[in-house]
Structure 1
Amino acid sequence: MKVGQQMSILEAALPDDVVAPYRETLTKLQDSAPPMPTATVRQILAEDLGADWKQRLVELDPVPAAAASIGQVHRGRWSDGREVAVKVQYPGAGDALLADLRQISRLARSVGTLLPGIDVRPLVEELQERAKDELDYDLEAEAQRTFAEAFRDDPEVVVPDVVDHGARVLVTEWLESTSSLAAVIADGTPDERDHYGELFIRFLFAGPTRTGMLHADPHPGNYRVVPDPEGGPGRLGVLDFGAVARLAEGSLPEEMGRMIRIATRGDADALLAGLREIGFVRPNVRVDPAQMQDYLAPFVEPAAVERFRFTREWMRVQFQRINDPREPGYTLTLKLNLPPSYMLIHRTWLGGIGVMSQLGAEAPFRQILTESLPGFAES
């Protein structure tokens, strides 16, 4: 399910003749999964919140309000009168995910021979550690509390407060929302696409600056449309803080901002030298600077102009350039390394571009990077 949701983010990159029969199925992955029985939910609540959980959670709708990835959500009412969302982890989700990760680890050696530019072992270790984090609802509660506090008075973004939690249960304030970003992708007006697209991309980059963490699961089901009661532009509600990158520098890496700025200036030699220093190109790997400049177009083109219109066609072209064996970018892909500290950053940036392309949104991407990406403005 988690892999399917990540694939649905990149649906914009797939050719129309391939994606047309599957587009509806891919989109459903962003909002649904098979529910677990009510008796199982109540048992987990008792084990994680204590035998007296009913004294605090005084009402619980037995029908899930949403289900996705490794848990499902029920609507309820807390003892102080607040409407709450109760997320309960699927039994066995942890064992199943960790078993998959062990299989990935066993395949790492053979993958390394196919991708000589990548140091696979530390990347797999990082993947395993971050997956374990996603299973820990105590850790998720800590992250969500931090984001809720940082965005408490924000006029554009809403993050629900945490009410209670256990290792497999997370209780948060209920977020009143008419739909998700997936619905805007499917049926939104041009103005709605631009508005919510800009809020979405601003949040992705503002979060690290305010919290020292990156919300690293940018599939549209995690982003909710929150209407303005006075009829103005709506706000963006943000859910699911299980996948969070805790950034060593307390923000996105300054070196990352510098590299993007250098790339927008077209200095291919300086770009390659910088990427070698960071670890994206290992010392023994030969790379053509011009090819590297071209390869980074999905990250650079939106930052090179005042406003950029993301489209499915643009995303499709970028995707083809690095995945078609006939293209130079495909060969370059096999040579490049991904430092473990950049794994979730890369996933989030690429996923964010995918969502913006699905929306067909226009945004002042360059301005957003100037405001929120360290190193970009100073370079």
Structure 2
Amino acid sequence: MLSIQDESLVPAPILAALNMVRQGADVMPRSQLNQVLDAELGPDWTSKLQCFDYKPLAAASIGQVHRAVTKDGFQVAMKIQYPGVADSISSDIKNVKLLLDYTNLIPKGLYLDKAMEVSEEELSRECDYELEANNQKRFRALLSDAEGFYVPDAMDDISSKRVITSELVAGVPIDKVTLLSQETRDYVGKKLLELSLRELFVFRFMQTDPNWSNFLYDERTNVINLIDFGAAREYPKSFVDDYLRMVLACANCDRERVVEMSRRLGFLTGMESDVMVDAHVQAGFLAGLPFSKPGGFDFRSTNITQSISNLGATMLKHRLRPPPDEVYSLHRKLSGAFLACIKLAAVVPCRELLLQIYEQYQFGDETNDIQLSTSAS
């Protein structure tokens, strides 16, 4: 997540180092790579391919990606997990916690134990490539008729729990789209925000890793190719209902409604100090700012993530409970979408996108929604 911030939050040299971790880790030696492929796909795995490129296309923290061609001439990308990664998650998380506890850098209000528990669960899911293949197929079906998006096909016969093979797609990561025209940047920013809203409020199933390399824009086709579905999760209908109510309340600067929904969702207990409630509400209003007025919102005008971070110290000091489990991954994705729009300097009709979703949304409990439908217009 730190690797996709901007220089207003993270110094440039640290960003450069984190960017290497995001997409340029050390690669496996050829002998070790063959051992993994033999173990996962069988010693005859090469018989399923015309060719396999031993030089990886990319290498990140969990695995590396190689280009290959199937027997029928189909170009594919094979993601191969480093040996021992899945088994080391628990000990790695404990080591990080020990380090953070020892340095005493983490404020009590971060509720580190809860954050670590959620992180361990999410990382374990990311290491299961069979689960990722199923997630990918599900997104491919959900977005099959969606204009501007494409999800590549997964190849079951050349995949396993530690190897996933997918159709190879073209495109540049989001941070490279910054070199293209304003019109293109506006389009890509709009599509990314549209995707996030649809995932949460229509599908209730979201890919929660906002890494810019997971969204490949193909200028030739004007399509965003979506890859890497290891980090994906479902959200309960009751949670999504109340979260949409809260988003509209934040957009409309409705303090009473924001507090009400925050208590229902589990952000607040009802026993917080006025200082904490004020900081929480102001953070909500800032997050709702792009959705507050009709027309295009210029993400260059306000660095929303930095402004919310400035309120974070107050909330960490006065918070009485950890946030609900659902929002760890959800807010990572939503803040990633905002960061992408800021990086692109995009102008996006955010309120229109939200109201399109809201007007078609079917709440499980229709009570108390008359006020929202009135204030949303």
User: TM above 0.5, one fold?
Assistant: yes
CA contact (8 A) 1:264 1:300 kept: yes
Aligned pairs (5 A) from 1:190-339: 190-209=182-201, 211-228=203-220, 234-249=222-237, 253-288=240-275, 289-306=277-294, 307-311=296-300, 314-315=303-304, 317-319=306-308, 321-323=310-312, 330-336=313-319, 337-339=322-324
Cα gap change, 1:20 to 1:48, in 2 (>3 Å): closer
Q: What TM-score comes out, normalization by structure 1 length?
A: 0.84
- Which of 95, 103, 112 is residue 87 of structure 2 equivalent to? 95
Tell me the residue number matched to 2:3: 8
Q: Which runs of 5+ in 2 are unaligned?
A: 364-368
One-letter amino acid of the structure 2 residue matched with residue 270 of structure 1:
R
Q: Check if 1:62 corresponds to 2:54.
A: yes
Aligned pairs (5 A) from 1:141-156: 141-156=133-148
2:6 alignment partner, SS class: helix
Tell me the residue number matched to 1:326: none
Cα gap change, 1:372 to 1:245, in 2 (>3 Å): farther
Tell me the residue number matched to 1:140: 132
After superposition, give the CA deviation of every residue in 1:126-175 in whole Å (9 maximum; x if it has no partner). 22211110111111111001111222233300111101221110000111
Cα gap change, 1:270 to 1:33, in 2 (>3 Å): same
Distance 1:351 1:172 in 2: 24
Cα gap change, 1:30 to 1:144, in 2 (>3 Å): same
Deviation at 1:108, TM superposition (A): 9.2
After superposition, give the CA deviation of every residue in 1:31-66 in whole Å (9 maximum; x if it has no partner). 322221222222211211222212213311111111
One-letter amino acid of the structure 1 residue matched with residue 259 of structure 2:
L
Tell me the residue number matched to 2:366: none
Tell me the residue number matched to 1:3: none
The percent of aligned pairs where both chains have the same amino acid is 25
Cα gap change, 1:85 to 1:211, in 2 (>3 Å): farther
CA contact (8 A) 1:151 1:159 kept: yes
Cα gap change, 1:355 to 1:191, in 2 (>3 Å): same
Distance 2:339 2:154 in 1: 29
CA contact (8 A) 1:148 1:158 kept: yes
- Which of 31, 34, 44 is residue 36 of structure 2 equivalent to? 44
Cα gap change, 1:212 to 1:277, in 2 (>3 Å): closer
1:35 alignment partner, SS class: coil
One-letter amino acid of the structure 1 residue matched with residue 2 of structure 2:
M
Distance 1:188 1:28 in 2: 23
Distance 1:66 1:101 in 2: 24
Distance 1:247 1:148 in 2: 19
One-letter amino acid of the structure 1 residue matched with residue 343 of structure 2:
Q
Tell me the residue number matched to 2:176: 183
State the superposition RMSD in angstroms: 2.9
1:170 alignment partner, SS class: strand
Q: Which has the bigger relative contact order, CA under 8 A and spacing at least 6?
A: 1
After superposition, give the CA deviation of every residue in 1:175-219 in whole Å (9 maximum; x if it has no partner). 122x2212113x232222111111122122223455441110111
Deviation at 1:106, TM superposition (A): 5.8
Q: Which runs of 5+ in 1 are unaligned?
A: 1-5, 324-329
Deviation at 1:224, TM superposition (A): 0.4
Distance 1:317 1:120 in 2: 22
CA contact (8 A) 1:147 1:211 kept: no
CA contact (8 A) 2:258 2:284 kept: no
CA contact (8 A) 2:89 2:120 kept: no
Q: What TM-score comes out, normalization by structure 2 length?
A: 0.85
2:76 alignment partner, SS class: strand
One-letter amino acid of the structure 2 residue matched with residue 357 of structure 1:
I
CA contact (8 A) 1:112 1:119 kept: no
CA contact (8 A) 1:108 1:124 kept: no
CA contact (8 A) 2:251 2:291 kept: yes
Deviation at 1:20, TM superposition (A): 3.9
Cα gap change, 1:137 to 1:305, in 2 (>3 Å): same
CA contact (8 A) 1:13 1:313 kept: no
After superposition, give the CA deviation of every residue in 1:41-98 in whole Å (9 maximum; x if it has no partner). 2221121122221221331111111122311110101122211100001122223432
Distance 1:236 1:252 in 2: 29
Distance 1:267 1:342 in 2: 21
CA contact (8 A) 2:207 2:233 kept: yes
CA contact (8 A) 2:201 2:240 kept: no
1:245 alignment partner, SS class: strand
One-letter amino acid of the structure 2 residue matched with residue 255 of structure 1:
D
CA contact (8 A) 1:160 1:175 kept: yes
